Structure 1
Amino acid sequence: MTTIAHVEPVSKGTTGASFKKKGVGSALTTIATWIIGLIFIAPVFFMILTSFHPEVKASLNTPQLFAPLTLDGYKQFFGSSSGQSPWPFVLNSVLCSVISTLLVLCFAIPAAYALSVKPVRKWTDVMFFFLSTKFLPAAAGLVPLFLIAKAVGGLNQIWFMIILYTAMNLPIAVWMMRSFLADIPPALFEAASLDGAGLIKTLLKVIAPIAGPGIASTSLICFIFSWNELFLVNVLTSTSAAQTLPAFLPSLVTSQALFLGKLCAAATAVSLPVLIAGFAAQDKLVQGLSLGAVK
């Protein structure tokens, strides 16, 4: 004789209430996320909007959102009326950021490959050593850096700033690249070794295509850190021969007046390369930063 178990029917009211609660909670989370995002983006939006306002309207204590729009701030910043041309500082920023980022990748990828693929004893101690270099505040090492720069002739020299930016970004790049390379199956490296591929060929033909998103995200972060760095370049340089754009911006604030429109235009122009790079590589950045998050 077959016994049929009795199954209690699920109450439609309970199920509907559960779905309703989840829907309300999801809606509240979405609204809160949008509010937080707008709070963070509001100062940036106000800076960009003020850069297009005439100086008379931009300097008012009560901001006027619907003031007439003009390009005078950008013309004054890039033109001869700004007092000092910003183009030497733009060139220095590009050289320091691009060259230091390329050097960081040249050093970080082989180091991460050795720490993630090759058997290295006490690799955790090595990674902690890299991380410990970021514990010391930049101000604490300023006097030794200044004395070293003075001894080797690195004051007001762009090559010394490139070396500093490379050393500054190398620890975080090694940490990031190791987490990316650790997710690559070891069988790929074994297959490349059996095919007779050396280290350089393995890095170029095997690692680079697979770890492309990780390399892109690491490059973007190192570029941003180098582009925005102000403390070291403000102390170790004093002329346009080596100063970068972040060190040029404070010179727009003079004792005569605060030209807010021109200053906002300059800040927007300085931020534009980072924003363009971020938007161009946003898919690679998200994909790279999510590598290793799910095992």
Structure 2
Amino acid sequence: MSAATLDTPRTAAPRVNPPPRNPVGSVLTVVAWIVGVLFVLPVLWMALTSFHSEADAATNPPSLFAPLTLDGYANFFGAQTGASPWPPLLNSLTASVLSTALVLVLAIPAAYALSIRPVRKWTDVLFFFLSTKMLPVVAGLLPVYLIAQSIGMLDNIWLLIILYTSMNLPIAVWMMRSFLAEVPVEVLEAASIDGCSLPRTLRTVVVPMVLPGIAATSLICFIFSWNELLFARVLTATTAQTAPVFLTGFVTSQGLFLATVCAASVVVSLPVLIAGFAAQDKLVQGLSLGAIK
């Protein structure tokens, strides 16, 4: 290395100024935080009230620093009445899981036919599915009740499974079609050239590629089934009673037991929260699939 090279001063890298802060983005961030806190605050207040006694929960204004107790949870699990919440919880779990599984079994082939291998007038088919959600649930309650009574299906968990499947199927078809529309046709053509049948193509090629969309669809169907109250309230009595129906039993003619109701609400909400946290990454991927090209 020559002396001229050693004496040559090194030029400093140009300093890159950070981009100017966008005031609109900062305002939107603050607004988003405020909205998020407003949505979460009632849930946190419900959880806190569930650890108060009935006397402290009924004070006006509510007492924030009241002594904590587990009496509300003890009452929910039958400490005073002896009524166990486990049969209704198991009924809700059974109806939600089985109906969601049936919805996926029916929705994935239907969405495949409407997106990758479109049938004739597929737009009319999609709008027909959507039109079934335009009828208010209460409008079909009496016919469903009379049919269930005539065939001896009242207070039967399988009736709820069939109803929840039919209620969630249109939404699942619409969601799965948007996810399946993102599958490259070349991949399916390659599978067809390799000799894969349609069921095998769906099972080994399509389903793994749209797994985030399946997770998002199944979670939404599970939540809708778990939270459904109207059909379960009218069509069940004791054998097929679900958790939301059991929850309404704490509102009696003697009054509203606020701490017990809050404790029951927390317990009934836990399965949905656990499922949401367990499938959080898949849910975000599924709901954002196709949003960015």
**TM-score when normalising by structure 1:** 0.90
> Per the alignment, in what secondary structure is the counterpart of residue 65 of structure 1?
coil
**What is the identity, as a one-letter code, of the residue corresponding to 1:247?**
V
Shift in Å at residue 92 of structure 1?
Answer: 0.4
Partner of 1:261: 259
> Per the alignment, in what secondary structure is the counterpart of residue 139 of structure 2?
coil
User: Quick check: 1:217 aligned with 2:216?
Assistant: yes
* Rounded Cα–Cα distance in structure 1 between residues aligned with 2:291 and 2:81: 48
> Per the alignment, in what secondary structure is the counterpart of residue 52 of structure 1?
coil
Partner of 1:159: 158
Note the 1:115-264 alignment, pairs <5 A: 115-239=114-238, 241-264=239-262
**Aligned partner of 1:271 among 245, 269, 272:** 269
User: Quick check: 1:19 aligned with 2:20?
Assistant: yes
Shift in Å at residue 250 of structure 1?
Answer: 1.1
* Rounded Cα–Cα distance in structure 2 between residues aligned with 1:171 and 1:141: 16
* Rounded Cα–Cα distance in structure 2 between residues aligned with 1:192 and 1:278: 33
Partner of 1:291: 289
* Rounded Cα–Cα distance in structure 1 between residues aligned with 2:104 and 2:161: 14
Residues 83, 257 of structure 1: alpha-carbon distance in 2 compared, 3 angstrom cutoff: farther
Moved over 6 A (4+): none
* Rounded Cα–Cα distance in structure 2 between residues aligned with 1:76 and 1:123: 53
* Rounded Cα–Cα distance in structure 1 between residues aligned with 2:166 and 2:276: 23
Shift in Å at residue 55 of structure 1?
Answer: 2.0
Shift in Å at residue 65 of structure 1?
Answer: 1.4
Partner of 2:11: none
The answer to whether the 8 Å contact 2:154/2:236 transfers is yes
Partner of 2:10: none
**What is the identity, as a one-letter code, of the residue corresponding to 1:196?**
G
* Rounded Cα–Cα distance in structure 2 between residues aligned with 1:102 and 1:165: 11
Shift in Å at residue 58 of structure 1?
Answer: 1.2
* Rounded Cα–Cα distance in structure 2 between residues aligned with 1:119 and 1:36: 41
> Per the alignment, in what secondary structure is the counterpart of residue 155 of structure 1?
coil
**TM-score when normalising by structure 2:** 0.91
- How many residue pairs were aligned? 277
Q: Give unpaired runs (5+ residues) of structure 1.
A: 1-14
The answer to whether the 8 Å contact 2:50/2:263 transfers is yes
**How high is the sequence identity, in percent, across the aligned residues?**
64
The answer to whether the 8 Å contact 2:77/2:83 transfers is no
**What is the identity, as a one-letter code, of the residue corresponding to 2:76?**
F
Shift in Å at residue 238 of structure 1?
Answer: 1.9
